[in-house]
Structure 1
């Protein structure tokens, strides 16, 4: 799929499957009925790496790059990530707001040339319950069974989000009502929200 076609999509389905050393994310266009359609992007994350540095490809053959994103530092508590074009031009960046995230996970997301927006865990109750679950002996080793969601907020208005669609499976719906929000930035944010939520 061409970048211009990807940019026209307002809904993206992100599905993750895990092996011992890899997280594989497949990103699909919506088929118009709320279900995954054509594959539009693929991320093959090596979880054994010390620094998070990933490539977004157009397909599973990994022959064509859409973008790449990487953490600014090793073991970064603030979890700052930069997103680049294949040529190295910065598309934007996002960073976890540590103090706010102690209670309710909050990120700041900025696209070059556009006002920043907040990525906020939607439910205060679910945010607290999920943190308690993670600290429970034995139980915390299992996936949290309640779906959690994030809103993209600008000037107190929700313009998009990442909704977890599976209770146990790591499946998500990333969506945006902002046509100028770069879909590559949205994919990177959706992937990072998945693999960072357990930390």
Structure 2
């Protein structure tokens, strides 16, 4: 969709920059989505995500706050336990905001994802192919790869039609996974961007 001037129609909710921080508990993975303050520091909580483990269909629900009384968006796999399943992102009323999926073949050497939104098709890859290969070697080491990943890796998503950047996720060194997410393309709704950013951590080993 475009405006009368011919420029792309912006998404309903646009957030150019935010942070994702992982929390780990016994039965669920939790992720804090925080706004970026003008000085670049972490701001207020925008959403709290929960990924329940051992579900046949992968699903992550994002809540408005710590009370978890109001789910505001979510993503869910269409297929059961499928490494290249399509995942739909829903708003709080059940309308689809966009989709994403992992390219299984390409991801054997370098993790690659498809991302789509109204008027947009994008592809995202690990930024550094050498780090991607080293991560895979590390994961083959018995026990060690499941305990600690020493590599800091990033993802860059570009418009498949123009090659222009639409989303980046940069992992920062921390005890728990922490990411800085930048969204230069206003066609990417914040809820879709936050879902994709969480999936890059929660589903990366799938």
User: Which segment is superposed worse, 30-39 or 20-29?
Assistant: 30-39
Bigger mean CA offset, 45-54 vs 145-154: 45-54
In structure 1, the partner of 2:153 is 148
> 1:166 touches 1:172 (CA, 8 Å); kept in 2?
no
Runs (5+) with no aligned partner, structure 2: 1-11
2:193 maps to 1:189:
no
Counterpart for residue 26 of structure 2: 20
- Unpaired segments of 5 or more residues in structure 1? 1-5
Describe how 1:26-105 pairs up with structure 2 within 5 A. Answer: 26-105=32-111
Q: CA separation in 1, counterparts of 2:89 and 2:203? A: 16
Q: Distance in 2 between matches of 1:61 and 1:81?
A: 26
Quick one: distance in 1 between partners of 2:146 and 2:185? 37
Q: Cα RMSD between the aligned structures?
A: 1.7
Verify the 8 A CA contact 2:169 2:179 in the aligned structure 1: yes
TM-score, scaled to structure 1: 0.91
TM-score of the superposed pair, with normalisation by structure 2: 0.88
Describe how 1:84-163 pairs up with structure 2 within 5 A: 84-111=90-117, 113-154=118-159, 155-163=162-170
| Whole-angstrom CA distance in 1 between matches of 2:120 and 2:200 | 21
Instruction: Give the number of equivalent residue pairs.
Output: 194
